Amino acid sequence: MIEEVRLHRVRARRFLAMVEGRWDRELPEIVAHTAYYAMFHAAVALFSKRGVPLPKTHAGVSARFGEYFRLVEPDGRDQVRRLGRALERRLIGDYDAVDVLKMEDARDDATAFVAFCERLIDET
């Protein structure tokens, strides 16, 4: 389980570095997609560390994250909302034809969410 946590943290950090390094010159759809997967892997690392069963769907990951971590202070509820927004942005980027995404939002949410998950992983 420790190796799984490490591997997902590395993956989260790699995706986050891509977002932080290229958000201002990349397509909004790519930033939204990459930011979401940084957050997804951070959540999976936290689930693995805490022994939380991994859901089978992306919507399930968002719901389960809320179930287990919305009351964590500070800002657990904010992080639950960030993950939900990221999933929504990813779906818009993947499937919608209209460009309505703001890259700064994706970057800021991913940065805060990954930091939150890493703090909780390091606390236990």
pLDDT score recorded for residue 78: 97
pLDDT score recorded for residue 49: 96
pLDDT score recorded for residue 70: 96
Q: Which residues of the chain have pLDDT under 70?
A: 124
The domain spanning residue 41 has which CATH number?
1.20.120.330
pLDDT score recorded for residue 94: 87
pLDDT score recorded for residue 68: 97
| Closest CA relative to residue 60, chosen from 79, 43, 35 | 43
Q: For residue 42, give every residue at least 6 positions away whose Cβ sits within 8 Å of its Cβ, in sequence order, or none.
A: 8, 9, 12, 113, 114, 117, 118
Q: Per the structure, how many domains does the chain have?
A: 1
| Closest CA relative to residue 7, chosen from 35, 42, 39, 32 | 42
Alpha helices in the chain (DSSP H): 2-22, 28-50, 58-69, 76-95, 103-123
Structural domain containing residue 103: 2-123
pLDDT score recorded for residue 97: 78
Percent of the chain with pLDDT over 90: 80
Give the predicted TM-score (pTM) of the model. 0.94
